[in-house]
Amino acid sequence: MLPRFFSCTGRSMPLRLASRKVSVALHCCRKTALQYQSYSTTTGTAAFSIPKTRNIGIIAHIDAGKTTTSERMLFYAGVTKRIGDIDDGDTVMDYLQAERERGITINSAAITFAWANHRINLIDTPGHVDFTMEVERAVRVLDGAVTILDGVAGVEAQTETVWKQASRYNIPRIAFVNKLDRTGGAFGRTVQEMWKKLQSRPLVVQLPWYHDDNAELPQNASGGRLKAIVDLVEMNLLTWEDRDGMQLTRTAFTSADDKTYYEEAVRGRTALVETLAELDEEIVDVFFEQADGDHMQVPAQAIKDALRRVTLANKAVPVLCGAAFKNIGVQPLLDAVIDYLPSPLDRPDAIATINNNKTQLIPLKESANLCALAFKVTHDPRRGPLVYVKVYSGKLNHRMTLFNTTTKAKERVNKLLQMYAKDVEEIPMVQAGNIGVIVGLKGTRTGDTLVQSNDTKAIKANLQLDNIDIPSPAFFSAIEPHSVSDEQAVEDALVHLTREDPSLKVWTDEESGQRLISGMGELHLEIVKDRLINDFKCKTDMGKMRISYRETCQGSGIAKAEYDKELMGKRARAKCKVELMALDQDSADDDDDHWTMDTGNRLCIQMDGSSFEDDNDNDHHHHTRSSPSGGSTLKKEDIYQAAHTGLLSGLARGAVLGFPLTKLQVKVTDMELFGPDTTTGAISACVAQGVQDAIQQASPCLLEPMMQVHTEVNEHHIGTVVSDLSGTRRGHVLGMESDASTDPSAVDNGTTQIYAPPDSVMVQGDVAGYVPKHVIKAEVPLSSMLGYSSALRSLTGGSGSFSMRVIGYGEMSKDRERVVVNEMKGW
């Protein structure tokens, strides 16, 4: 195979070296132990300065090996005394009972440890689609991320989702191709997929070294055995001889070790220097001035510096490899976290909103006022709620009084903690850029902003760090305490759970009086049930998991509503007219009325023939009396607000099954008020009644949540999976994307070439069993996606994977609607 050198057509090529003779003089045949590494530390990480801090997360597809890798990290860092095993259910990171039972990560656990004289705050994140919000919450406080890829499965559907999340927050990343000990493990192919599917620029900094002279080592696809790792930066061979992988030995890698591999390593280093030179000016100077134009002579430190610069600038992603389960590759991964991922000082300032619409930057300064984000709340049976915070500016002291600008409440810090999985250390202070845990906050929830209680400027301006948009929950279920005496305990537990996880919503159904809880997916609610019973020891059941439908109207309706009631001896009166129609392109009239979008509906409140907004600019400041006919003692903005509340409450319960209404255009007109008899309550009730009456006339119907589904399958399974999606599951298949090629040398998009080592060289023979993958893209009703994971497993013999997200609500046939109504009403 010819060496593949790198050109970049379309821009000047910084290094024209394809024809140069590659010098191998730097690393000659001498084989010496260059470095023997084993860092050990326990506590005391608070002493590290901010430039020596790394707030990192591990993001990946479910089962890629996040937990296995983090467990090894903790072991090598000296935090744990033995390696936890997911398969035995005794890991440190997955500490909730539900997590241990299922062998998956549910809550991201933040944990601090020291490595190479640095503090690493590691946040483990879940890979299951139901916990996308959990990943999102973790990702926004990260400064950098390690993406773990399964070297057998490659880049999977959910990897793309979490990758996009990290891209949205511009998080610099390094990648670790794991499970290379397994049959079918293919490093080169995975690197290609990173480029093709994730649109990233992978920079290979290590190669897996397969060798078959040691029967003790695990066997891979074609009989090769993962023996060691070749470090292309240092041109070293990394080996782990002992059972638990504690002892890493680095020796100079030479052609005497293995000629073919050595040649590939030279190609890899050449490609690395070439690509860096394309992305970074400084390395070009080093190349010519210090290395005499020889790729192999470029000092390792210069390559590391350039790798750090391009990673921080999000121009490329260093790619490492190994097999965490076999204790191969984890220490170099930790070194790469320190070398290539940013400290908080390398990150752009955090963004906050002030006065509800202006943007303000929060520079990372210890001398500034405190500004912190509560990114996670957990319930500790002994200590009470633990609030994980990232401090963006200032210093958080123990015993400080805080102000929560989201809940508008004062909060007092009792203690500050640094978490080491289950162990904790009490600390006096958390400085800007660092992560800590507050004990003692009464009402702070995940996503809230905290400032000092004496920072009147921030409090007045309502300073809020950007929060996360929570998509509407897709599933709900009834909570059924065993007896009346169990109700309070269940309520208390629900308060804790919703504080921890804002994507859970609890409410009471007006008609049945039942307590209901909604969440993002089936597993999400199953975990809630588990936690109610096991963690909170509640005596409760949960009803059948149901889908959160929506309602809308197909026609239009006009209703005149009059509210006239006596409440506690006082008359309450109001009149109005409500016009309602389906919201489609035609109904979006362009008159002068002031329309606003709320809950997926277009709303307008017309007051005295002109829109409120038109008058409002003048009235807001002068508090003049209202203009709707009849007059009132109320301020105009209060009347508007009351009518708006009425609109929302009228649209909260549909006529078919009581689900919220969406995709409607609703206008309130002809408001009639009756002096002191008209209260805000009367206005709200009157408008809500008008909306409900209008809905009855407008052919109400159900809408169902629609999912965008990406299913990844091998060629042999395309037919079965497509017919399942479009037939049984009532989906609409939109198209299909295929792996462009399995040939590494073909990775070229016309302007950029990517180095991906040929897997044939890596494993000394063909990579057995690789079948190109195809992504089927479809839109499918959520109700048809229930149990899809196991169905797909049996359709594809376990090789298929999928990701899905809600894209909106779609109409359903009358027959289908009848089935759903009957099912919901228990007929």
**Nearest to residue 755, comparing CAs of 150, 180, 295, 159?**
295
d(CA 332, CA 325): 15
| Shortest CB 170 distance to ligand GTP, Å | 24
| Backbone angles phi and psi of 248, in degrees to 5 | -95, 125
Interacting span for ligand GTP (CB under 6 A) from 98-106, 333-341, 744-752, 817-825: 98-106
User: Do 370 and 451 form a contact (C-beta atoms < 8 A)?
Assistant: yes
What string marks each residue from 5 to 44 as x (binds ligand GTP by CB under 6 A) or -? ----------------------------------------
d(CA 807, CA 802): 16
The yes or no reply on residue 60 touching ligand GTP (CB under 6 A) is yes
Interacting span for ligand GTP (CB under 6 A) from 65-73, 247-255, 422-430, 512-520: 65-73
d(CA 333, CA 246): 14
127 is in an annotated binding site: yes
Burial grade of 107 (CB within 10 A; 0-12, 13-18, 19 or more): buried
| Shortest CB 476 distance to ligand GTP, Å | 25
242 is in an annotated binding site: no
681 is in an annotated binding site: no
By CB under 6 A, the residues from 734 to 753 that bind ligand GTP are: none
d(CA 369, CA 363): 10
What is the Cβ-side half-sphere exposure of residue 583, based on CA atoms within 13 angstroms?
Answer: 19
d(CA 380, CA 272): 47
- Taking CB under 6 A as the criterion, the residue among 4, 27, 54, 66 binding ligand GTP is 66
| Backbone angles phi and psi of 661, in degrees to 5 | -95, 150
Q: How far is CA 92 from CA 83, 339, 362, 468, 815, in A?
A: 9, 26, 34, 28, 51
Provide CB contacts within 8 A for 302, sequence distance 6+.
282, 283, 286, 290, 291
User: Do 72 and 83 form a contact (C-beta atoms < 8 A)?
Assistant: yes
The yes or no reply on residue 184 touching ligand GTP (CB under 6 A) is no
Burial grade of 714 (CB within 10 A; 0-12, 13-18, 19 or more): middle
Only one residue has tokens 């409002």, namely 616
154 is in an annotated binding site: no
63 is in an annotated binding site: yes
The yes or no reply on residue 87 touching ligand GTP (CB under 6 A) is yes
Which residue's CB is nearer to ligand GTP, number 96 or number 104? 104
Burial grade of 99 (CB within 10 A; 0-12, 13-18, 19 or more): buried
* Strands 732-738 vs 773-781: parallel, antiparallel or unpaired: antiparallel
The yes or no reply on residue 172 touching ligand GTP (CB under 6 A) is no
Q: How far is CA 505 from CA 517, 655, 661, in A?
A: 6, 22, 17
- Taking CB under 6 A as the criterion, the residue among 63, 411, 448, 579 binding ligand GTP is 63
Which residue's CB is nearer to ligand GTP, number 219 or number 467? 219
Q: How far is CA 446 from CA 96, 135, 137, 559, 642, in A?
A: 18, 13, 8, 42, 30
The yes or no reply on residue 324 touching ligand GTP (CB under 6 A) is yes
By CB under 6 A, the residues from 464 to 483 that bind ligand GTP are: none
The yes or no reply on residue 522 touching ligand GTP (CB under 6 A) is no
The yes or no reply on residue 224 touching ligand GTP (CB under 6 A) is no
Which residue's CB is nearer to ligand GTP, number 702 or number 762? 762
The footprint of ligand GTP on this chain (CB under 6 A) covers a number of residues equal to: 23
Interacting span for ligand GTP (CB under 6 A) from 56-64, 430-438, 635-643, 686-694: 56-64
The helix/strand/coil state of 773 is strand
Interacting span for ligand GTP (CB under 6 A) from 324-332, 439-447, 542-550, 645-653: 324-332
| Shortest CB 390 distance to ligand GTP, Å | 22
460 is in an annotated binding site: no
181 is in an annotated binding site: yes
- Taking CB under 6 A as the criterion, the residue among 65, 521, 646, 690 binding ligand GTP is 65
Interacting span for ligand GTP (CB under 6 A) from 46-54, 57-65, 611-619, 760-768: 57-65
Ranges of H-type helices in 280-299: 281-289
323 is in an annotated binding site: no
- The token pair at 580 is 């309602």
Interacting span for ligand GTP (CB under 6 A) from 64-72, 241-249, 468-476, 678-686: 64-72
The yes or no reply on residue 333 touching ligand GTP (CB under 6 A) is no
178 is in an annotated binding site: yes
456 is in an annotated binding site: no
First to last CA, the chain: 69
Q: Assign 3-class secondary structure to 357-376.
A: CEEEEECCCCCCCCEEEEEE
180 is in an annotated binding site: yes
CA 600 from centroid of its chain's CA atoms = 24
| Shortest CB 172 distance to ligand GTP, Å | 21
d(CA 614, CA 616): 6
126 is in an annotated binding site: yes
125 is in an annotated binding site: yes
Which residue's CB is nearer to ligand GTP, number 86 or number 527? 86
Interacting span for ligand GTP (CB under 6 A) from 207-215, 320-328, 615-623, 659-667: 320-328
Interacting span for ligand GTP (CB under 6 A) from 103-111, 305-313, 490-498, 729-737: 103-111
| Shortest CB 150 distance to ligand GTP, Å | 8
- Taking CB under 6 A as the criterion, the residue among 240, 325, 549, 788 binding ligand GTP is 325
> Which residues face 802 on adjacent strands?
711
d(CA 187, CA 744): 11
The yes or no reply on residue 449 touching ligand GTP (CB under 6 A) is no
Which residue's CB is nearer to ligand GTP, number 322 or number 800? 322
Q: Give the number of residues written for the chain.
A: 827
Provide CB contacts within 8 A for 706, sequence distance 6+.
779, 780, 781, 782, 806, 807, 808, 809, 810
Which residue's CB is nearer to ligand GTP, number 87 or number 216? 87
The yes or no reply on residue 182 touching ligand GTP (CB under 6 A) is yes
The yes or no reply on residue 68 touching ligand GTP (CB under 6 A) is yes
| Shortest CB 218 distance to ligand GTP, Å | 7
d(CA 654, CA 333): 54
Which residue's CB is nearer to ligand GTP, number 209 or number 674? 209
Which residue's CB is nearer to ligand GTP, number 157 or number 812? 157
d(CA 54, CA 308): 13
| Shortest CB 56 distance to ligand GTP, Å | 15
751 is in an annotated binding site: no
The yes or no reply on residue 323 touching ligand GTP (CB under 6 A) is yes
Which residue's CB is nearer to ligand GTP, number 319 or number 666? 319
| Shortest CB 86 distance to ligand GTP, Å | 4
The number of beta carbons lying within 10 Å of the beta carbon of residue 390 is: 28
Which residue's CB is nearer to ligand GTP, number 57 or number 705? 57
H/E segment holding residue 389: strand 384-393
- Taking CB under 6 A as the criterion, the residue among 17, 56, 59, 64 binding ligand GTP is 64
179 is in an annotated binding site: yes
The yes or no reply on residue 227 touching ligand GTP (CB under 6 A) is no
d(CA 614, CA 617): 6
Provide CB contacts within 8 A for 573, sequence distance 6+.
562, 563, 564, 674, 677, 678, 682
The yes or no reply on residue 109 touching ligand GTP (CB under 6 A) is no
- Taking CB under 6 A as the criterion, the residue among 179, 189, 531, 773 binding ligand GTP is 179
Q: Which residues are annotated as a binding site?
A: 60-67, 124-128, 178-181
Q: Which residues are annotated as a binding site for GTP?
A: 60-67, 124-128, 178-181
Residues binding ligand GTP (CB under 6 A) = 60, 62-68, 86-87, 103-105, 126-127, 178-179, 181-182, 323-326
